Amino acid sequence: MAEHSTSAQPSDTETEVMLDRMLTRLALADDSKLEQLLTKILPYSISSLSSSSPSVRKLVMEILTHVNKRVKHRLEIGLPVLELWKIYCEATGFPMVRNFCIVYIEMCFDRLPAEEKANMAPDLLVNVSKLPTQHQDIILRIILKVIGECHSSQLDENIGVKYKSCDGKDRQLFVEFCLHTILYQPPSLGVGCPAGLSMAQSDRITGKLPLKGDVLLKRKLGILNVIESMQLTPMVAYPIYLAASSDSQEHVAKRGEDFLKRKTAGVNLDDPDLINRLFILFNGTTSVESLPTDFRVTPVNNTLRLQLMTVFCRSVAAANAFPSALQCIFSCIYGTAHFFPVFCLTVNNSVVYCSLSCCLIVLIDVVFGNESTV
């Protein structure tokens, strides 16, 4: 494959001849020899999609159709993930090549041994922020699936170092995806938008196939282990640990609470950016009419909202946040169309107490300014 990429590109006629031979070999090959054969056929076929020749593309589709039929339900047959990832990274000018690569890379990871995919998953984060959004989603889902399968109980130090090396926009994108996964809970009736997310965010997390049960539990526990290994600043990690500490699954809540106490003790609750992110969790963006419906974020669940209220009561920056603070107070006292029935009945006393405390902080701040003490 390396020789093919460095030498002169073959003509469409030569490519057709080669693909036709490969299709014949593929059709005649026993299943026992299929994996070895695919290490050459699959990368060459997908690379050939860079050709604009209809006959070349037709042959490639015949090969891929044959491959799909024979390997789709045979997870013991491995696929050449490293070669496909190399092609994906190099084929920046050929969208069709990259589109097919990413599909087969996802198939590859389902077949890799645990140690191998755990070692490779962090490498996929390099420059992930520069990829098309649809490809970002697929790659991030691959990574989080590996995290759930391989790191729910513990994380190897060498793997942790790899995740820690992720920085800049790649890290920001990954951390945000992790937060959304921690917030995710399967809708009670199997439909609708999970609390704390928009429909678009929910679809990004799940790939439109709901996560549930043990799979979701392991994925969240794995995320917490990876986030800890990345040694994020308290302000970046705080929303994730706070959300985890209010999770409906006991193991996640306990680990989240532990990390919240140990890893974010020095968090600055008067940081405007942090408080703004927390207010978005509490209030959501459902009232923002300029946003498309699928992108409107619903408020988080009741348990987490109560946690957030205790945070706001300790923050002068929260009192200064207009109109978010007022929206928060009114939501606590009067409820909202989405949360009123449960929120006011189950945690009414605590919420009203917190909301009145927050009101007092706002009034003190208005009257005395920043000289007041909370």
Which residues, other chains included, contact 293 with Cβ-Cβ below 8 Å and sequence gap of 6+? Answer: 199
The contacts found for 63-67 with CB under 8 angstroms, 24 or more apart, are: 63/19, 63/22, 63/23, 63/26, 64/100, 66/23, 66/26, 66/27, 67/26, 67/38, 67/41, 67/42
The burial of 368, by beta-carbon neighbours within 10 Å (0-12 exposed, 13-18 middle, 19 or more buried), is given as exposed
Q: How far apart are CA 336 and CA 64, in angstroms?
A: 52
pLDDT by position in tens, the chain (length 374): 444 444 467 888 999 999 999 999 999 988 888 999 999 999 999 999 999 999 999 999 999 999 999 998 888 999 999 999 999 999 888 999 999 999 999 999 999 999 999 999 999 999 999 999 999 999 999 999 999 999 999 999 999 999 999 999 999 999 999 999 999 998 877 678 899 999 999 999 998 778 889 999 999 999 999 999 999 999 999 999 999 999 999 999 999 999 999 999 889 999 999 999 999 999 999 888 888 999 999 999 989 998 998 899 888 898 888 888 888 888 877 765 444 433 443 444 454 445 545 555 554 554 445 444 44
* pLDDT tens digits, 307-328: 998 899 888 898 888 888 888 8
Q: What is the chain's alpha carbon radius of gyration, rounded to the nearest angstrom?
A: 25
Distance CA(290)–CA(299), nearest Å, equals 17
Instruction: List the chain domain ranges.
Output: 1-112, 131-267, 270-374
CA angle 174, 305, 173 (to 5 degrees): 10
pLDDT value at residue 73: 85
C-alpha span between 321 and 272 (Å, rounded): 8
Euclidean distance between CA atoms 49 and 191, whole angstroms: 39
* 96-122 confidence digits (pLDDT tens): 999 999 999 999 999 999 999 999 999
Dist CA 267 CA 289 (whole Å): 33
